[in-house]
Amino acid sequence: MHIIYIIIFILVYYSSPKPTLNPLRAPAVQQLFRRRLISRSRTFDNNTMAKCDFCDVKFSLGLLNAAHIISFNKSKEFNAYRINNDDDCKELVKYNKTDTDIDFLPTSVNASNNGLLLCKTCHNGFDKGKITITKEDRIQIDKGFYDSNVVDGVHTYEGIHGNLLWWLRKGEKELRNLSDFPKFFVFNYAKSENAKPKKRKRNQKSNV
């Protein structure tokens, strides 16, 4: 009797549709994304430690997250904007767009200039909108967030608020390929509230 149940279970399992894995989320692709972020970061101790892109505190690599700025759930609309520069998709971006902005956009959500190497606390704050980037490329931290959080049990966020992004600071930007790093336009796109292009209204025929 048990054998019959097992056979039925196997038949049902293999005949039922399986969810397909988004190729952008494939483990090998995410490992490559992470390696790209680490390679452009400030590493120490024979590449076993690196600094968080926001708080500047050193962590072992295992404690740093590879964070996406433009998330997977916006990837479809983003690709339409990036590849086609579609008129409908321009509504996604609340920014005074220039002709050159398209050149600063990542080629995909897994491009290095769509990523940040962040500690767990900074990643959490960024995902919740408590840590944002201003038009002047400075880190802006919600006061309630830095009052109630510390980075690693020692460092506080109060001294980080208002800092220029590290790869744009004097002495750093000359040593880096800035095309590997995100521009303000990418941060602004990611936080835009209008996540989907507006649908065009169909022409209604008059009944007269």
Q: Is the pLDDT of residue 167 over 50?
A: yes
Mean pLDDT in residue range 199-208: 42
pLDDT at 98: 47
Question: Percent of the chain, pLDDT > 70?
Answer: 63
| Residue 47 near residue 112, CB atoms below 8 Å | no
Question: What secondary structure does DSSP assign to the chain, as a single string?
Answer: -HHHHHHHHHHHHHHSPPPPPPGGG-HHHHHHHHHHHHHTS-EETTTTEEE-TTT--EEEGGGEEEEESS-GGGHHHHHIIIII--TGGGGG--S---TTHHHHS-SSTTSGGGEEEEEHHHHHHHHTTSEEE-TTSBEEE-HHHHHH-BSSSS-BSTTTTTPBPGGGSTTTGGGS-GGGS--HHHHHHHH-S--SPPPPPPPPPP--
Mean pLDDT in residue range 106-125: 90
pLDDT at 194: 38
pLDDT at 49: 95
Q: Out of 18-32, 90-104, 114-128, 185-199, pick the least confident.
A: 90-104
pLDDT at 2: 60
The confidence band for 191, taking pLDDT boundaries of 50, 70 and 90, is confident
pLDDT at 195: 41
The pTM of this model reads: 0.72
pLDDT at 172: 81
The residue extents of the domains of the chain are 22-129+176-191
